[in-house]
Amino acid sequence: MAIPELGVALHSGRDDIDGQHRLMFEAARKVLAVDSARPDLLIKAVRFLQAYVHYHFRAEEHVMVATDYDRREHHMRQHALIRKEVEEIRAALVAGGAVGPLIARVQVLFQDWYVFHIREVDVPLAVHLRAHSEATAQAIGLPTSSELVATGRLAPEYDGIELPGYPGDLPR
């Protein structure tokens, strides 16, 4: 099993959202690519994935609040479920859990849960953001990690997470 590419079938119609999804799927692929005999690298890869998931969800939640998105509560509940799954995977790895089943959880998360989330939850958000931009004649995009840090919506250690060379990321 492999994590799907973020092809046309998984595009939200928003370059900013799709770009962040692409980086998140890349982070998940890095988890799967780590040699299971290197638990230190596996934990590092999962820690980065967890951090990127956290940043991406904060960015989406920021624009949902800013545009008074009517499906915000449902969307945020979905985020909470995915966040919890990634946190549990990381905690189990740190505790010395069996690597095989944990890697399988990452695969299922990105092959099933997250693909569903993009198609059923993120695409409607992208439609809402386009309509909001047209109605207000003001484009709104996902904030950068630096913008979220500056507003107190994201912890400083996440500043620059979307940029190549972020500390804690594995080589690209």
pLDDT for the residue numbered 58: 95
When pLDDT is cut at 50, 70 and 90, the band that residue 172 belongs to is low
> How many residues are listed for the chain in this entry?
172
* Alpha helices by DSSP H, the chain: 15-33, 39-66, 72-94, 99-108, 114-117, 123-136, 145-150
**Residue ranges per domain, the chain?**
14-152
Render pLDDT for 35-45 as a digit per residue (tens, 0 to 9).
777 888 888 99
Render pLDDT for 24-34 as a digit per residue (tens, 0 to 9).
888 888 888 88
**147: pLDDT strictly greater than 80:** yes
The neighbour count for residue 13, using CB atoms within 10 Å, is 12
Render pLDDT for 100-135 as a digit per residue (tens, 0 to 9).
898 899 989 988 888 899 999 999 999 999 999 999
Render pLDDT for 44-62 as a digit per residue (tens, 0 to 9).
999 999 999 999 999 999 9
pTM above 0.85, yes or no: yes
Question: Terminus-to-terminus CA distance in the chain, angstroms?
Answer: 21
- Long-range CB contact pairs, 135-144, < 8 A, 24+: 140/63, 140/66, 140/67, 141/14, 141/16, 141/63, 142/16, 142/17, 142/20, 142/59, 142/60, 142/62, 142/63, 143/59, 143/62, 143/63
Q: What is the secondary structure of 76-103 as a DSSP string?
A: HHHHHHHHHHHHHHHHHHHTT--HHHHH
pLDDT for the residue numbered 13: 85
CATH level 3 topology of 14-152? Four Helix Bundle (Hemerythrin (Met), subunit A) (1.20.120)
